[in-house]
Amino acid sequence: MPDIATLLEILLIVVKVGVVTMILFGLPLPLTWLERKVAGHIQVRLGPWRVGPHGLLQPFADMIKLLFKEDIVPYKADKLLFNLAPLLSMVPAFAVFVAIPFGDSVMVPFINKEVTLYISDMNVGILYILAIGGLSIYGLILGGWASNSKYALLGGLRSSAQMISYEVAMSFAAVGVVMMSNSLSLLEMVKSQSGSFLNWNIFYLPVGPVWFAIFLIAGLAEINRIPFDLTEDEGTLAAGFHTEYSGMKFAFFMLAEYVAMVTISVLSVVMFFGGWNAPLQVPVPIPPIFWFVAKAGALIYFFMWIRFTLPRYRYDQLMTIGWKILIPVALVNLLVTGFMRI
């Protein structure tokens, strides 16, 4: 029989998992609103305006619409995989957050106990995130295949080819960061970047910015955002892999996509921008989590900015960028990083 302390530890983990999950489920609500507002202002419009002040209640209206929409399963679709696919894309997107450190330990008032702001400090954290994060692609592929529609199938095929091409570049970027930080554990990675902002991996000149550029481009391609959202290219593929999905299943795909965007932002913060470390020593005590959220938020805004600024690439251009530019650049950069770390 386990003793009280062990049970408390288990309870603490369960609570942490619950909190993170709730935050991730709630996050797409403000993010969809923000995305539309950003889109509106970039295109000199107002964006959502009717529901609530400044359209703030728009996400809730959307949610109600999605909940009440008829759930259509195409006749001749592979029922099992069709129903399973949204889950397959959502679960890995959430599971990634087990390994992400949001901050060091903090004292929680009332229970007077030191609580770490991460669920698990894995020894192979970065590998785990890349491996599990890569799994959400199955939702797209299988959803596209199971729909039994040519647009959906093409979308699924595109996403699998795209993922294979960019996973290589992304892994190279991760290898570069591991070399710069000397550890596979994300916690160690953040600790190695403490001090001023000059210690951040992105300022590890000359290779840091190049690794970040590779990671960012590959990350954008992995999460299927413009300019790399060829899998749901409405100009040629109707809606790509989710052509046949409606209602909540469609919402799950979108949820997974938003969570993936948050993952890439948070991962960039941890890998390149020093995690929760303050950029400069400030005399005012600011909680480290503030820096973390601020950096991640800035990156999320950056992704939205890109989405409404750049046009979509052609498919052959996408492959050219992946194989003929990113991977050779990554290889050369790996060599330079190796020489610098000797």
Partner 1 sequence: MEQIFFYIFAIVAVASAIAVISVRNPVHSAMYLIVCFLQVAAIFILLRSPFLAAVQVFIYVGAVMVLFLFAVMVLDIGKESFGEHMHSQAIPAGITVLGLLAVVGWLISKGKITVPLGNYTEEVLTKNTEVVGKSLYTQFIFPFEVVSLLLLIALVGAIVLVMKEKGKGAGSTRS
- Site for partner 1, rule CB under 8 A: 78, 81, 122-124, 127-128, 130-132, 134-135, 137-138, 141-142, 145, 148, 153, 156-157, 160-161, 163-164, 167, 184
Between residues 130 and 296, which has the closer beta carbon with respect to partner 1? 130
Name the DSSP letter for residue 244.
T
Alpha helices in 69-136 (DSSP H): 79-95, 125-135
Between residues 2 and 235, which has the closer beta carbon with respect to partner 1? 2
End-to-end CA distance of the chain: 50
Residue appearing with tokens 């809730």: 60
Distance CA 269, CA 193 (A): 11
Between residues 185 and 277, which has the closer beta carbon with respect to partner 1? 185
Smallest distance, partner 1 to C-beta of residue 193, A: 20
Smallest distance, partner 1 to C-beta of residue 73, A: 17
Name the DSSP letter for residue 314.
P
CB burial of residue 64 (10 Å; 0-12, 13-18, 19+): exposed
Between residues 154 and 202, which has the closer beta carbon with respect to partner 1? 154
Between residues 27 and 135, which has the closer beta carbon with respect to partner 1? 135
Between residues 152 and 251, which has the closer beta carbon with respect to partner 1? 152
Between residues 123 and 199, which has the closer beta carbon with respect to partner 1? 123
Distance CA 243, CA 166 (A): 24
Between residues 243 and 277, which has the closer beta carbon with respect to partner 1? 243
Contact 341, 333 (CB under 8 A): no
Residue appearing with tokens 């992995």: 222
Smallest distance, partner 1 to C-beta of residue 217, A: 19
Smallest distance, partner 1 to C-beta of residue 157, A: 6
Smallest distance, partner 1 to C-beta of residue 124, A: 5
Distance CA 27, CA 291 (A): 18
Element (H, E) at 179: helix 150-181
Smallest distance, partner 1 to C-beta of residue 53, A: 44
CA angle 75, 76, 80 (to 5 degrees): 95
Between residues 184 and 321, which has the closer beta carbon with respect to partner 1? 184
Smallest distance, partner 1 to C-beta of residue 44, A: 41
CA angle 48, 52, 47 (to 5 degrees): 10
Alpha helices in 43-124 (DSSP H): 58-68, 79-95
Give which of 204, 198, 140, 157 is closest to 176, Cα–Cα. Answer: 204
Distance CA 311, CA 240 (A): 17
User: Would you state the structure tokens that stand for residue 200, as one six-digit string?
Assistant: 């951040």
Smallest distance, partner 1 to C-beta of residue 335, A: 17
Q: Judging by DSSP bridges, how do beta strands 113-116 and 105-108 pair with one another?
A: antiparallel
Smallest distance, partner 1 to C-beta of residue 146, A: 8
Alpha helices in 182-320 (DSSP H): 186-191, 207-222, 234-237, 247-272, 288-307, 315-320
